[in-house]
Amino acid sequence: MLGRVNHIAIAVPDLAAATASYRDILGAHVSQAQPLPEHGVTVVFVELENTKVELLEPLGAESPITAFLAKNPTGGMHHICYEVVDILAARDQLSAAGARVLGSGEPKIGAHGKPVLFLHPKDFFGTLIELEQV
Amino acid sequence: MLGRVNHIAIAVPDLAAATASYRDILGAHVSQAQPLPEHGVTVVFVELENTKVELLEPLGAESPITAFLAKNPTGGMHHICYEVVDILAARDQLSAAGARVLGSGEPKIGAHGKPVLFLHPKDFFGTLIELEQV
């Protein structure tokens, strides 16, 4: 089911400082900051050779990463996104195996304009997993 | 400086259960468990198309992931490993920029038989970064 690692998401309290750190200290190629108000985050893409890291900063009062940053004020790894070919087939297979899909269970359009689902971290040893249909 | 994402490491309290979950529920290709007593972990490699996830379980009394699992009993994302071409040049450049290298500052031979260093997570927004020379 799992294809490529699409991205590793890291929540940070200060996106400008984190971007400067990845660009100037770690020597990585970073994108411009992109506000995604419908997802409650501003994102910077760190482009690596084989995948990417996404630095996320909360945007707005309803940001999905606010609670995470309250628990982890300096920031931290938030989720891993894997690509799947057919997200509805993946969802049905996961549900049949007893894994919990977050929210309504219906895919939403994610930050890249493609259907995504999130799986309950307690079903996967503390790791929040995003599936993205590509 | 940063090349490929070599792996994403996930610490788990029960390696057999986590391996079964990635293999049987997520449909990923997983390796046999490999005890690495000199690194204080047993590891299973989850092979993805473009990188790999490493599932880590503590091995022995001095395991470097015991404290992490005490804080995160269900498990969680532990570190990201990036490849670099020259680990001594990377270290010197990082140190000059004020980033802290863990331990003595001298590279050790990591779980893949190659020189590695770890960077202080407080200098990188809560993410523990491993550098591996390839």
pLDDT digits (tens, 9 = 90+) for B48-90: 999 999 999 999 989 999 999 999 999 999 999 999 999 999 9
Pick the residue of A23, A46, A95, A127 with the most B CBs within 10 A to test the interface with B by mutation.
Answer: A127
B13 touches chain A (CB under 8 A): yes
Residue reference for tokens 């599936």: A131
**pLDDT tens digits, A9-35:** 999 999 999 999 999 999 999 999 999
> Domain A5-133 is in which class?
alpha beta
Q: ipTM value of the model?
A: 0.96
pLDDT at A61 over 90: no
For the residues A108-117, what does the mean pLDDT come to? 93
Residues A130/A102, Cβ–Cβ less than 8 Å: no
CB contact under 8 A, B82 and A48: yes
Q: pLDDT confidence of A111, banded at 50, 70, 90?
A: confident
Q: B34: which residues sit within 8 A by CB, 6+ positions away?
A: B42, B43, B44, B45
Report the distance separating Cα B95 and Cα B91, nearest Å.
6
Instruction: Tell me the per-residue pLDDT of A42-57, one tens digit each, with 9 for 90 and over.
Output: 999 999 999 999 999 9
**Helical (H) or strand (E) element with B58:** strand B52-58
> Three-state DSSP class for B25?
helix
Listed by start position, the domains of chain B span: 5-133
> Known catalytic residue: A62?
no
Q: Average pLDDT over chain B, rounded to whole?
A: 96
CB A18 within 8 A of CB A77: no
Q: Give the active site residues of B.
A: 130
Mean pLDDT (whole number) for A66-91: 97
| Phi-psi region at A60: left, alpha or beta (left = phi > 0; alpha = psi -120 to 50) | left
Separation between Cα atoms, residue B2 and residue B23, nearest integer Å: 30
| CA gap A5, B37 in Å, rounded | 29
